């Protein structure tokens, strides 16, 4: 990822963290500080996003545009992996904030492009370019890549489910596209569920990946009303939290990485906000 995109993402994560914590703290009292009890967020993710400078949201969206087919990232040169469609939610967010149906269509097209490369069992085609033909993907590689994509897909769907604007523009063609994506997402989620042991073993030493795994199961399970998947998301979140060291570090390969720390914090807060606010 280019350095400028990393910087924008880091700033966005920091802003989201501050706003999320501020929203939680609004209702906190001395009796509900961490370690002495629990507090329940009173704001939704859309409330937080509405407070973020739209230039930040625009930069994130514009850094993840698709081509005419819906391909983004390294898939633009020919389909490689669904993992490279994992940055679609910034497009969805910006579309809703701006009430822009064209950008929303682009985001949905990105998901449709990924699912057009799904196998019948719910896994995704892995088709590396010639330069990588000598490198075989392991079962862990494939499961983790799918979790990355489904974390974005599930998160975006969950946001659309809560968007008042989305309900005002939901005509028959758009509804058909969303419903088709949900059916495909359910099949992909079923496959990912069959890979839980592989996924937990493969991602155990990379806490940020465990949070992505949690988001994949939780958000997609929430959007599809799949209680088992929601519980699986909770298990991966617990696994990630149990890895945290006493000084607050989310370890990566038994070490510390500031950028991955921000990613873990961002995902943990997004997960926490939704669980505590919705009760599931």
Q: What is the pLDDT of residues 219-273, one digit of tens each?
A: 999 999 999 999 999 999 999 999 999 999 999 988 888 899 999 998 888 888 8
| Distance in angstroms (rounded) separating the CA atoms of residues 6 and 109 | 24
Distance CA 87, CA 153 (A): 9
What was the pLDDT predicted at 280?
Answer: 57
Assign residue 92 the CATH number of its domain.
1.50.10
Q: Which residues of 142-168 are buried (b: 16+ CB within 10 A; e: fewer)?
A: bbbbbbbbbbbbbbbbbbbebbebbee
pLDDT of residue 279: 59
Burial of 106 (0-12, 13-18, 19+ CB in 10 A): buried
Distance (Å, whole) CA 115 – CA 88 = 13
150-184 confidence digits (pLDDT tens): 999 999 999 999 999 999 999 999 999 999 999 99
Q: State the total domains in the chain.
A: 1
The first and second tokens of residue 21, run together, are 């914590």
Counting residues of the chain whose pLDDT is more than 70, the rounded percentage is 84
Residue 42 has pLDDT above 50, yes or no: yes
Region 107-124: mean pLDDT is 98
Q: What is the pLDDT of residue 65?
A: 96
The yes-or-no verdict on residue 205 having pLDDT over 70 is yes
CB 232 within 8 A of CB 221: yes
Tell me the sheet residues that pair with 56.
none
Q: How far is CA 142 from the centre of its chain?
A: 17
pLDDT in tens, 79-115: 999 999 999 999 999 999 999 999 999 999 999 999 9
What is the pTM for the complete model shown?
Answer: 0.85
HSE of 122, CA atoms in CB hemisphere, 13 A: 17
Closest CA to 64 of 15, 116, 12, 20: 12
Provide the 3-class DSSP secondary structure of residue 124.
strand
- The parent domain of residue 111 ranges over 3-278
C-alpha distances in angstroms, 34 versus 29, 31, 40?
Answer: 10, 9, 12
The two structure tokens encoding residue 264: 């873990």
* The pLDDT value given to residue 20: 44
Tokens standing for 101?
A: 């149906």
Structure tokens at 151: 């974390």
The residue length of the chain stands at 280
């Amino acid at each position: 990822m280019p350095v400028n995109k990393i910087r924008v993402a880091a700033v966005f994560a920091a802003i989201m963290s501050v706003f999320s914590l501020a929203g939680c703290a609004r209702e906190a009292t001395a009796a509900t500080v961490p370690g002495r009890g629990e507090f329940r967020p009173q704001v939704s993710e859309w409330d937080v996003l509405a407070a973020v400078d739209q230039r930040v949201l625009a930069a994130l969206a514009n850094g993840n545009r698709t081509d005419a087919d819906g391909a983004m990232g390294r898939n633009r040169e020919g389909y490689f992996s669904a993992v490279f469609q994992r940055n679609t939610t910034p497009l969805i967010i910006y579309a809703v904030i701006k009430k822009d149906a064209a950008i929303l269509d682009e985001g949905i097209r990105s998901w449709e492009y990924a699912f057009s490369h799904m196998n019948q069992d719910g896994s995704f085609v892995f088709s590396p370019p010639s330069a990588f033909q000598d490198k075989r993907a392991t079962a862990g590689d494939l499961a983790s890549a799918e979790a990355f994509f489904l974390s974005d897909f599930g998160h975006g769907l969950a946001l659309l489910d809560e968007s008042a604007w989305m309900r005002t523009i939901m005509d028959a063609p758009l509804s058909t596209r969303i419903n088709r994506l949900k059916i495909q997402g359910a099949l992909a989620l079923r496959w990912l569920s069959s890979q839980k042991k592989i996924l937990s073993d493969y991602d155990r030493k990379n806490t940020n990946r465990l949070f992505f795994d949690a988001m994949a199961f939780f958000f997609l399970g929430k959007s599809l009303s799949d209680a088992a998947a929601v519980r699986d998301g909770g298990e991966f979140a617990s696994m990630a939290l149990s890895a945290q060291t006493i000084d607050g570090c989310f370890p990566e390969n038994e070490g510390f990485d500031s950028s991955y720390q921000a990613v873990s914090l961002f995902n943990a807060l997004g997960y926490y906000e939704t669980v505590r606010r919705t009760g599931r």
